[in-house]
Structure 1
Amino acid sequence: MRPRLALVPGEPAGVGPELCIRAMHQLDPMDAEIVVFGDRDTLARAAHAVGLPVAFAAAYEPHAPPGTIPLIEIPNAAVAAFGSPDPANAPAVIAALERAAAACIARQFDGLVTGPVHKASINEGGIAYSGTTGLLARQAGCEVVMMLANDIVRVALATTHLPLREVADAITPAGLERTLRILDAALRGEFGIAAPVVAVLGLNPHAGEAGHLGREEIEVIEPVLERLRGEGMVLHGPLPADTAFLPAKLEGFDAVLAMYHDQGLPVLKYSGFERAVNLTLGLPYPRVAVDHGTALDLAGKGTADPSSLMAAIATCTRLSRPRALARLQAGQA
């Protein structure tokens, strides 16, 4: 039972295309069927840059040689120069994401893996874009949670890309409850954890120190945790962020919920940046992304490390197996 995954390289001027080439050479074809949504010429030039052969197919071929890429072509408007994003290609970048995600919603694919995109170039191309997580959530019509993970820790976020001065106002009882429900459901459903244990960090230093360093823990966070504990969720906190990540404590947690981006992610990236992946919880399909940017300074040099993409594909393969089984049981090819 092999999941069928849609793979989107991301920004054509970044390292995404060459990482896809390396991945398609390294992957065991018995693990998953992978189809790339992207520009053929960009992928061919990326293969030349890394010194690997590439061939393209219109559909998945189980006995094709390594480096054969089943491709759903979404042409760029302009030739992508490595290291120099062209806003003219923004519509193709977005179209690849949307078409791949639509195919997952339609159950033609079991999961989605995405490479890094260049937000500034997309916005300069006339497309209002704040991130792929939000784009996929709007397309699917659902609420989502961003979680990053490696083999050491899973870190979900109550808020994502906000200026620090806006974080406290963004943490509301309704929003925090919604985030915890999505996180708990994903840990049970996608990760198969029967009774997940979640560490919830406080917002303020020392988790507010009984109100002396802020009252968000007392007035917002703790009441939500108490209510959800009453429903059976296992939630520890609010915990001081400076000690919650100690290895002895992490052993008892299935995930950590951080209140803002830089509260939790520096620890995760320090503990294993190359193996880290970015997951979007709450979508009707698994979506896993690399945990790095476009690395424009490395693009086209053939030196970019594919470890995060390989980890993203492996994670998405694992999470997509139940959907693949359901698709096969329903008689879908």
Structure 2
Amino acid sequence: MGDACGIGPEIIAKWWQGRPAALVIGCPAVMRRAVLSVGRGAELQVVPVSSVGDVAGLAAGDMAVLTPPGLPGDVIDAPLGQIDERAGRAAAASIREAVRLAQQGLVAGIVTAPLHKEALSLAGEPYPGHTELLQAEGAPPGQPPAPVRMMLANDQLKTVLVTIHVSLRQAIEQVTYDAVLETLRITHDSARLWGQPAPRIAVAGLNPHAGEGGLFGDEELRIIGPAIEAARTMGIDASGPYAPDTVFMRARHAPPAHPGEFDVVVAMYHDQGLIPVKYLGLDQGVNVTLGLPFVRTSPDHGTAFDLAGTGRADESSLAEAARMARLLVSGCQAAPAARD
């Protein structure tokens, strides 16, 4: 459901159309409000369910909503368009239930509507966002969380990040040989799920002009370049590091006039990788968490508090996230296991 005070419930209500194989995890009352907000009260029935198995007995147009353990009973009272601790608790509870169902094999994949990081923090969650919470919850009992990476993608460009929700100063410190090499490995192994078993991976430099041979910084010489060489010895088609101000244009795939030179770009930090994709259009972008033991996607926009309750939020990115989730689920079922 995402943050109850944002547009997540509304874009779900807009997107929902004859989807008996889908399930909303969240608050039925919040989803009813969203259905009314987008003007679908006469055609769409919100039906509370107690298990995944109940979905099979519903009509095609019914919206099955499963209330997760720990959902605040008064989350419907949290005011729209505002940061609220109850909404943060509800979002976290919904994610945990979704992960539990995925781990049990009861759902094939998870599509998360936007949550608000400040609301999550007010709820006492130690995680800065979806990715870190999913990583922690997805770990098998007694085992450390598996390394994961954030990918933002649309039809023209895919970028995977070495570092994500940290300050820029911390991001630079976290650009290590191991982090870059692991990002390349995760990207390579995950690409088979969307039909590219041998992706051409371009690696962006950290510094202007990729360091210009050490004139503007030596991370490319000491860290990024050696990690690329190590990846190539593992059979990964990685190249670079390339100047960050041109590599995304080179990778942009917009045939026939502009076929991309690369299939995916590995970027060193959050804004370096996400700005190019978002510039191409928020309505088509999808966030994918690579490395999890289950499929997870989400829209590439936030909670848009200024639009909450207006019914004007655009559901296109959510629709793309759902489409990508189904594609990746199909890839998981068809692809061989990734290397250890």
Separation in structure 1 between the aligned mates of residue 200 and residue 107 of structure 2, nearest angstrom: 31
1:239 maps onto 2:242 in alignment:
yes
Calculate the aligned-residue CA RMSD, in Å. Answer: 1.9
- Three-state SS of the structure 1 residue aligned to 2:240 is strand
Q: Which residue of 2 aligns with 1:112?
A: 110
C-alpha displacement at 1:297, in angstroms?
A: 0.8
Question: Is the 1:159–1:259 Cα contact (8 Å) retained in structure 2?
Answer: yes
Please state if 1:159 is matched with 2:153: no
Aligned equivalents of 1:195 and 1:21: distance in 2?
A: 38
CA contact (8 A) 1:14 1:294 kept: yes
**Contact 1:167–1:260 (CA under 8 A) maintained in structure 2:** yes
Q: Residue 303 of structure 2 aligns with which residue?
A: 294
Q: Distance in 2 between the 1:98 and 1:277 partners?
A: 21
After the TM superposition, which residues 271-286 of structure 1 pair with which residues of structure 2 at under 5 Å, given as runs? 271-286=280-295
CA distance in 2, matches of 1:253, 1:171: 22
Aligned to 1:100: 98
Match of 2:120 in 1: 122
Under a length normalisation based on structure 2, what TM-score does the superposition of the two structures give?
A: 0.87
Question: Pairwise mapping of residues 1-333 of structure 1 onto structure 2 (< 5 A)?
Answer: 9-25=1-17, 29=19, 33-53=21-41, 54-57=44-47, 58=49, 59-61=54-56, 64-66=59-61, 68-74=62-68, 75-78=71-74, 79-141=77-139, 142-188=146-192, 190-247=193-250, 251-323=260-332
Say which SS state the counterpart of residue 119 (structure 2) adopts: helix
Structure 2 CA distance for partners of 1:102 and 1:264, relative to 1, 3 Å: same
Give 1:52 shift. 0.5
Q: 1:35 to 1:325 in 2, by over 3 A?
A: farther
Q: Which amino acid aligns with 1:102?
A: R
Return the alpha-carbon distance in structure 2 between the equivalents of residues 310 and 269 of structure 1.
16
SS in 2 for 1:272: coil
Deviations 1:225-276 (A, max 9, x none): 1111122111110000111122577512110001111112111111122100
- Aligned residues of 1:11 and 1:85 also touching (Cα < 8 A): no
Say if 1:102 and 1:14 are closer, same or farther in 2 by CA, change over 3 A.
same
Aligned length: 312
| Structure 2 contact 288–296 (Cα < 8 Å) conserved | yes
After the TM superposition, which of the residue ranges 69-78 and 283-292 deviates more from structure 2? 69-78
Q: Deviations over 1:49-87 (max 9, x none)?
A: 111023133322477243x11121234332232112321
**Residues 323 and 268 (structure 1), Cα distance of their counterparts in 2 relative to 1, 3 Å cut:** closer
Q: For structure 1, list consecutive stretches of 5 or more residues without a partner in the other structure.
A: 1-8, 327-333
- Deviation track 1:127-156 (CA, whole Å, cap 9, x = no partner) reads 223111011111122110000000110010
